[in-house]
Amino acid sequence: MSAARTLPILDLSRLDAGESEAVAFRAELRQATHEFGFFYLVGHGVPVELQESVIRTARAFFDLPDADKLAIENLKSPQFRGYTRVGGELTRGTVDWREQIDVGPERPAVMSGDGIADYWRLQGPNQWPAALPELRTVITRWDDELSAIGLRLLRAWAVALGADEHVFDAGFAADPATLIKIVRYPGKSRPTPRQGVGAHKDSGVLTLLFVEPGKAGLQVEKDGEWIDAPPVPGAFVVNIGELLEVATDGYLKATVHRVISPPIGSDRISIPFFFNPALDASIPVLDLPAELQAEAAGISVDPTNPIFASYGENGLKSRLRAHPDVAAIHHPDLVGR
């Protein structure tokens, strides 16, 4: 572990502070995600009261009786939505010690059939807890706020990478496939650290992570070492997913990261927001300026983790691997692919 290394901190409000500040922000954004794939984002404008509300409401959900949580268990959802009990998700075949609720866009389910891509099975309704109706209100507002931030960041990246500001817009203009996870990591580590979530890359475009203040555990891999990424008050931890690696021929790299369980006797609330385009959208591959292309290492090659250009294929790959029990119930024809 390298104690000296920390993730860079970027201030989104600089985009509104005049052209020279905007240019400097874009350059820092490009460099941070070329070098680390991760950074802290401040100046994002999400109200403090909403930040506090989303953590408070998350805790209220996990404090519900088991019967209320299991009433919306993800085993009932072909779309992998709803509540996952502790130990109910895998990363690279190993159990993650966390409980969570998965929330996606509220849309009608798509019937599978000839000519219908398998990834459309991910579209459908959410499961909301009847015992906590305010969860839907708070998370819907959270989705709206973070979607706007995600689009601002994508436009800033586009300009920083020498492309048209709106090159990524089409994939998000209609029916983006956002995903919100509301996660609680129970205390498991004493004295040996335990896996909260195993080492992995995110399968989409970008992730904005909000963590309960004062609760460490996230680690980011850099040059074979793990960098601790404890929460910065009011900040999001932002990282790119595999599709931005595809878009830039590896100039931007999706970075491996993991979460270590908190010590026994404590827990940790974490809310990652995955900003992903429509299921049938393919990420555009950018024509990078020569000086950036010279530093592009190409797309990562891992036979155990193929990267697809369309988000739907990438997203379905992740869901099937993470929740084989849901897959076996609702998608037995896809098991083993």
Q: Is the pLDDT of residue 225 over 60?
A: yes
**What is d(CA 176, CA 171) in angstroms, rounded to the nearest whole number?**
7
Q: Is the pLDDT of residue 247 over 60?
A: yes
Q: Residue 321: how many CA atoms within 13 Å on its side-chain side?
A: 18
> Residues 177, 278: contact at Cβ < 8 Å?
yes
Instruction: Please name the residue that has the structure tokens 């950018």.
Output: 286
Q: How confident is the model at residue 259 (pLDDT cuts 50, 70, 90)?
A: very high
Identify the pLDDT of residue 2. 40
Q: Is the pLDDT of residue 33 over 50?
A: yes
> What is the pLDDT averaged over residues 110-134?
96
Query: Can you list the pairs that 73-76 forms with residues at least 24 positions away whose Cβ atoms lie under 8 Å?
Result: 74/102, 74/127, 74/323, 74/326, 75/325, 75/326, 75/329, 76/127
**The two three-digit tokens of residue 201, written as one number:** 């890359």
> What is the pLDDT averaged over residues 103-126?
95
Identify the pLDDT of residue 108. 96
Identify the pLDDT of residue 337. 67
Q: Which of 117, 74, 83 is nearest to 328 (CA)?
A: 74
Q: Is the pLDDT of residue 22 over 90?
A: yes
**pLDDT tens, position by position, 264-273:** 999 999 999 9
Identify the pLDDT of residue 169. 95
Q: Is 254 left (phi over 0), alpha (psi -120 to 50) or beta?
A: beta
> What is the pLDDT averaged over residues 245-272?
94
pTM for this entry:
0.94
* φ, ψ at 248 (rounded to 5°): -115, 15
Identify the pLDDT of residue 309. 73
Q: In what order do the strands lie in the sheet with 195-200?
A: 195-200, 257-260, 218-222, 225-228
Q: Is the pLDDT of residue 1 over 60?
A: no
Q: Is the pLDDT of residue 112 over 50?
A: yes
Identify the pLDDT of residue 193. 78
Q: Alpha carbon 215 to chain centroid distance? A: 18
> What is the pLDDT averaged over residues 209-220?
94
**What is d(CA 29, CA 218) in angstroms, rounded to the nearest whole number?**
21
Q: Alpha carbon 121 to chain centroid distance? A: 20
Q: Is the pLDDT of residue 35 over 90?
A: yes
